[in-house]
Amino acid sequence: MDSIIVNGGSELHGQIHIAGAKNAALALMPVTLLTEEPLTLTNTPRLSDIRTMSQLLQSLGAEVTALNDGRVVALSSHGLTSTRADYDIVRKMRASNLVLGPLLAREGRAVVSLPGGCAIGARPMDIHTTALEALGAEIELKDGYLHAEARGGLKGAVVPLRFASVGATENLLMAATLAKGSTVIENAAREPEIVDLASCLRRMGAQIEGDGTSRIEIQGVDRLSGATHPVVTDRIELGTYMLAPVIAGGEVECVGGRLDLVTAFVEKLEAAGVEVEETQVGLKVRRANGRPSAVDVVTEPFPGFPTDLQAQMMAMLCTAEGTSVLEERIFENRFMHAPELMRMGADIEVHGGTATVKGVERLKGAPVMATDLRASVSLILAGLAAEGETQVNRVYHLDRGYEHVEEKLGAVGARIERVKER
């Protein structure tokens, strides 16, 4: 497996281009299953998760072509050959479950493997299944697979979600576009990726209102047409690179960055003494004099502080002045990076869903191991300011969600390289 070597201590200066959002693209690609006409996504990120979703859609009979070096993905599902999402693909990536709603809507049935646990917690599917059952689907668990059927087709309904799950909102939104009559999603997730999905569906002729709020209304239509849609900016990649100059020192402009995508995160950065400026092309971040100050963080659904930036924020707080408390409220086991950061000299105590971080002046490089996608990038960030060499192992997690991290950070002055597995 490849590893990444970081030598800390260089300030960062320059621009980093932020890619299209992984999590938006993973919800947009299954939209192809809702129409016989071509769907073209632009501004797609070049990531292994996108290739995994392509393989899954191809296994269902869709045509998926990466163009322009992966920046554009052309999809077409005029003839589907299967309605089964196999365990072999689903276990690699939980977002594979996003084919469930579209397959049910288009084909009236779907067999989708349950994803199983992952490093950050149990991640069940009950909110997805309860929501689709409310539209008239019958769903049964057999041999680790959800067998879903909607004999008379899906019918609109008022569907309250017990928690504002991102994936369940996406599955339900896609399914409801082709259901008979109107659907109301109550306690819907409000993430920008949901708004992006709804905008793409509207381009295709879907009737949707209220996305971005907790109440989404969908009026079902008979068919959807094709469309070309640009994927929204990746707010998690954006937040990650905004933290780089805070940790390493210097000034970085994140091209394509938008304040409205990272408002809660920027509030915390400013409270820590970081300067964030909106520019013509994005967001510029500069660490004010000296170390950042400690801040407390609670992860919440959007518009709250994103769980997907918690590990990176912790890496920054390890060298802040004072004591910070981080509370993880979305996932049950998302502090796996803490013991790795402690190997680099961080002072962290974890009790259940709360981590207390006492800032130290300097971290020290060490060999560390990445357990999940966001944890791995937090270790790279920590390495940027650590004394000496940090070797981050098992970076296949990283390649699921960050394109060319070593090139992007290297171009602004970080001493970072990938060591290929022989």
Give the active site residues: 118
Rounded CA separation 28/196 (Å): 8
Rounded CA separation 386/361 (Å): 10
Q: Sign of the CA dihedral 115, 118, 122, 123?
A: negative
Tokens of 9: 């201590």
**DSSP string over 311-369:** HHHHHHHTTSBSEEEEE--S-SS--THHHHHHHTT-EEEEETTEEEEE--S--B--EEE
Number of neighbours of residue 245 by Cβ within 10 angstroms = 26
List residues bridging with 173 in a β-sheet.
none
Angular region, 138: left φ>0, alpha ψ -120 to 50, beta rest: beta
| Smaller CB separation from ligand UD1, 118 or 411 | 118
Rounded CA separation 88/344 (Å): 36
Query: Residues interacting with ligand UD1, by CB under 6 A?
Result: 23, 26, 94-95, 121-128, 163, 165-168, 193, 307-308, 330-331
Burial of 74 (0-12, 13-18, 19+ CB in 10 A): middle
Total count of residues recorded for the chain: 422
| Smaller CB separation from ligand UD1, 94 or 284 | 94
Edge-to-edge order in the sheet of strand 207-209: 158-160, 182-186, 215-219, 207-209
Q: What is the DSSP letter of 301?
A: S
**DSSP string over 119-154:** TTB----HHHHHHHHHTT-EEEEETTEEEEE-TT--
| Smaller CB separation from ligand UD1, 125 or 159 | 125
Residue type, 97: N
Residue type, 114: L
Going by C-alpha positions, the residue among 224, 165, 151 that lies closest to residue 27 is 165
Whole-number minimum distance, CB 415 to ligand UD1, in Å? 29
Q: Are strands 250-255 and 12-17 parallel, antiparallel or unpaired?
A: parallel
Tokens of 146: 């959800």
Q: What is the DSSP letter of 391?
A: E
Cβ(232)–Cβ(21) below 8 Å: yes
Rounded CA separation 254/251 (Å): 10
Whole-number minimum distance, CB 119 to ligand UD1, in Å? 12
